[in-house]
């Protein structure tokens, strides 16, 4: 049995930190030690920020985003175009698209992709709510911005079928050559997709 080097409270802190994405046991020990050293400047405010966020965080009943208010800040932002909705897999994708700042649209977070092998069907995803939103008539374009994976594309096809009966344009992201990318370095799948989704000058 290995000897303990800290009391159970610190051991528990390290164990929990090690579950954070991007941190393993080693980084968790470093982070814990750093928090302990910076107790007043970092550990105490972090603990209270976490407590407050944990208490207030909720899922938006309209779009599936996480926020401390429902409907969320994105859904209630009057500067966004209510006729355009971007469908994403996860909240992280919503944040990424917002950082890109290319669109001024509303969002819909699916909460994953269809994956029958893992038991994830339409009922496990935020699909009904999307169809409901579209059926209300204000949305004119749905941009399906899912990952370029097999599951992502299966999900995109499924959603397109579900929305086929409505007066709404369904589009998807172009797949292709990344900005600054050199053709020689691209994999065949990316290159083939870029050719298929070519645009006129």
- Which stretches of the chain bind Zn ion, using CB under 5 A? 60, 62-63, 65, 71-72, 75
Nearest to 94 by CA among 30, 145, 41: 145
Containing 82, the helix (H) or strand (E) segment is strand 81-88
What is the smallest separation between the CB atom of 88 and Zn ion, expressed in angstroms? Answer: 12
Would you tell me how many other CB atoms lie within 10 Å of the CB of residue 54?
A: 8
By the 8 A CB rule, do 87 and 108 touch?
yes
Task: Please state whether the peptide bond connecting residue 71 to the residue before it is cis, i.e. omega within 30 degrees of 0.
Answer: yes
Using the minimum distance from each CB to Zn ion, give the nearer residue, 28 or 94.
94
Shortest spacing between CB 77 and Zn ion, in angstroms: 9
Q: What minimum distance in Å lies between the beta carbon of 80 and Zn ion?
A: 11
Q: Is the CB of 72 or the CB of 156 nearer to Zn ion?
A: 72
The residue (of 62 and 155) whose beta carbon lies closer to Zn ion is 62
Angle between helices 127-135 and 150-162 (to 10 degrees): 40
Rounded least distance, CB 200 to Zn ion, Å: 36
Is 71 or 137 the residue whose CB approaches Zn ion more closely?
71
Q: How far apart are CA 66 and CA 72, in angstroms?
A: 7
């Amino acid at each position: 049995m290995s000897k303990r080097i800290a009391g159970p409270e610190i051991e528990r802190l390290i164990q929990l930190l090690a579950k954070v994405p991007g941190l393993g046991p080693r980084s968790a020990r470093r982070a814990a030690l750093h928090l302990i050293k910076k107790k007043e400047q970092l550990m105490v405010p972090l603990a209270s920020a976490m407590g407050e966020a944990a208490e207030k965080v909720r899922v938006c009943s309209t779009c599936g985003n996480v926020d401390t208010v429902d409907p969320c800040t994105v859904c209630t932002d009057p500067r966004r175009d209510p006729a355009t909705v971007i469908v994403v897999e996860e909240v992280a994708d919503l944040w990424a698209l917002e950082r890109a700042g290319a669109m001024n649209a509303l969002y819909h977070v699916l909460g994953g992709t269809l994956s029958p092998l893992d038991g994830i069907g339409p009922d496990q995803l935020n699909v009904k709510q999307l169809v409901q939103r579209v059926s209300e008539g204000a949305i004119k374009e749905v941009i399906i911005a899912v990952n370029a994976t097999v599951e992502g594309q299966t999900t995109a096809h499924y959603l397109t079928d579900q929305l086929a009966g409505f007066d709404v344009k369904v589009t998807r992201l172009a797949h292709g050559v990344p900005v600054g990318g050199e053709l020689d370095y691209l994999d065949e799948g990316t290159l083939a997709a870029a050719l298929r989704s070519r645009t006129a000058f």
